[in-house]
């Protein structure tokens, strides 16, 4: 990792002012300099913490978390990030709130936002719903602030929606940047984003979509591989194509896992559900057709089972560029013979990369903290220099 002074010098050259008082909902809504600013601030915060310097920029305040789907890594990463900056986490449990009684989005958003500085939302279950919901919350708190109901306008962080998983893809990018020694070294690197077999159904599309949309901006050669029928959202495919053309990278698609793995510098085998099936699932839930949902689940499990050969094995890894090829996963992975009978990755491959996988996950708290920081701090360099000048110990040894 670069030295602290070098990181601060880099941040000074990056234009991130438009991130102030703004949400972070989709990576492709942010400029290249804003993306690099998040990565740089994340590395700075990590550097400060490793040197026992407090990164608290808040004396008080709340970070509201709303998880409409299960989570381990992102939930704890959000809590860690909030604590790192000095905010207290308050979790909105919809089952224990008035939401269950029909409270509107506008009312809920304002009621949870008193003394709140940040809201983190995960809503990835239904196509066409998650990102839309986040924007409804954003609009409601903006109106609450303008009407004088809220003394501050909480900014939103997308902790995963139906379209994108920005905190995951950004953490993955920071891991890759550190692994290869700098963002300038990513151009021309081949990344294989491939579907892999899972004995479960309905995994979100937002991870592979987030990866192809972000990594194509770095001048990387991104190959998306999946069996026929496991397509992603067409609009995200177009974004990946446009990004690759703009950055001088490549974006290719194939229906053969081996093609994607061949000479790859990075492999990311991960299961996801077919886009069309997820659309059907959303409609079925919307209509309360639970028998239809059971039939769809049975259909998708059978479809998955016909592609058990889509597994990241030692033989597949031999197709990659060299011994330094990086295996990545957002976790939890379906590990053959460990967490399931047959899955996404063989136990030997997973075990060999376990430390790197944990490092990959470890970047997420810093990425989320950086997103929060840049949305709440108007002059990030000035505040970081004050933190260094004060050098308040995070803990007294």
Burial of 179 (0-12, 13-18, 19+ CB in 10 A): middle
User: Do residues 231 and 274 touch, judged by C-beta distance below 8 A?
Assistant: yes
Distance between CA 330 and CA 363 in Å, rounded? 11
Give the residue from 140, 236, 220 showing the smallest Cα distance to 184.
220
Cα–Cα distances (Å) from 378 to 58, 210, 366, in that order, read: 14, 27, 19
Residue 96: what pLDDT? 65
- Residue 265 confidence class, pLDDT cut points 50, 70, 90: very high
CA atoms within 13 A on the CB side of 16: 29
Distance between CA 47 and CA 391 in Å, rounded? 13
Question: Mean per-residue pLDDT for 297-316?
Answer: 97
Q: What share of the chain is helix, strand, coil (3-state, %, to 5)?
A: 50, 15, 35
Distance between CA 352 and CA 327 in Å, rounded? 9
Residue 69: what pLDDT? 87
Asked whether residue 163 carries a pLDDT value surpassing 60, the answer given is yes
- 121: β partners: 66, 158
Give the residue from 68, 67, 98 showing the smallest Cα distance to 76.
67
Asked whether residue 98 carries a pLDDT value surpassing 70, the answer given is no
Summarised one tens digit per residue, pLDDT across range 146-158 is: 999 999 999 999 9
Domains of the chain: 4-164+364-390 (3.40.50.1370), 168-361 (3.40.50.1370)
* Paired sense of beta strands 221-225 and 250-254, if any: parallel
Give the residue from 215, 261, 257 showing the smallest Cα distance to 239.
215
Residue 99: what pLDDT? 66
Give the residue from 21, 8, 14 showing the smallest Cα distance to 36.
14
- Residue 70 confidence class, pLDDT cut points 50, 70, 90: confident
- Neighbour tally for 72: CB within 10 Å: 10
User: Do residues 100 and 384 touch, judged by C-beta distance below 8 A?
Assistant: no
- Residue 94 confidence class, pLDDT cut points 50, 70, 90: confident
Residue 239: what pLDDT? 98
Rounded to the nearest integer, the mean pLDDT of the chain is: 96
Summarised one tens digit per residue, pLDDT across range 171-206 is: 999 999 999 999 999 999 999 999 999 999 889 999
Cα–Cα distances (Å) from 316 to 218, 272, 320, 341, in that order, read: 25, 19, 7, 19
Residue 352: what pLDDT? 97
Give the residue from 278, 73, 306 showing the smallest Cα distance to 198.
306
Residue 201: what pLDDT? 86
How distant is the alpha carbon of residue 175 from its chain centre?
Answer: 12
Kindly calculate the radius of gyration of the chain based on its CA atoms and give it in whole angstroms. 21
- Neighbour tally for 312: CB within 10 Å: 29
DSSP state of 19: G
């Amino acid at each position: 990792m670069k030295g602290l002074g070098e990181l601060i010098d880099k941040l000074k050259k990056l234009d991130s002012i438009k991130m102030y008082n703004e949400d972070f909902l989709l990576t492709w809504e942010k400029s290249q300099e804003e993306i690099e600013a998040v990565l740089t601030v994340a590395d700075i915060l990590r550097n400060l913490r490793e040197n026992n310097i407090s990164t608290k920029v808040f004396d008080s305040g709340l970070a509201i978390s709303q998880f409409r789907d299960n989570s381990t890594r992102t939930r704890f990463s959000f809590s860690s990030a909030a604590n790192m900056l000095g905010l207290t986490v308050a979790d909105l449990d919809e089952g224990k709130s008035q939401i269950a009684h029909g409270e509107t989005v506008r009312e809920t958003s304002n009621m949870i936002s008193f003394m709140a500085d940040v809201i983190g939302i995960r809503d990835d279950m239904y196509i066409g719903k998650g990102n839309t919901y986040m924007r409804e919350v954003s609009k409601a708190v903006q109106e609450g602030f303008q009407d004088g109901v809220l003394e501050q306008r909480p900014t939103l962080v997308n902790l995963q929606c139906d379209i994108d998983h920005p905190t995951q893809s950004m953490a993955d990018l920071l891991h890759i940047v550190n692994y290869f020694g700098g963002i300038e070294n990513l151009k021309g690197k081949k990344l294989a984003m491939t579907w892999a077999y899972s004995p479960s159904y309905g995994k979100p599309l937002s991870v592979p979509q987030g990866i192809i949309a972000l990594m194509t901006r770095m001048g990387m050669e991104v190959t998306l591989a999946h069996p026929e029928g496991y397509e992603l959202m067409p609009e995200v495919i177009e974004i990946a194509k446009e990004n690759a053309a703009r950055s001088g990278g490549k974006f290719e698609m194939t229906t053969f896992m081996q093609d994607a793995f061949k000479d790859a510098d990075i492999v990311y085998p991960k299961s996801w559900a077919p886009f069309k099936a997820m659309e059907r699932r959303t409609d079925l839930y919307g209509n309360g057709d639970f028998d239809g949902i059971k039939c769809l689940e049975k259909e998708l499990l059978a479809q998955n089972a016909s592609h058990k050969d889509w597994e990241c094995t030692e033989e597949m890894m031999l197709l990659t560029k060299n011994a330094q090829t990086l295996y990545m996963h957002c976790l939890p992975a379906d590990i053959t013979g460990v967490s399931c009978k047959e899955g996404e990755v063989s136990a030997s491959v997973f075990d060999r990369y376990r430390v790197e996988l944990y490092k990959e996950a470890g970047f997420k708290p810093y990425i989320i903290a950086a997103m929060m920081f840049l949305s709440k701090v108007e002059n990030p360099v000035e505040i970081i220099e004050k933190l260094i000048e004060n050098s308040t110990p995070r803990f007294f040894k």
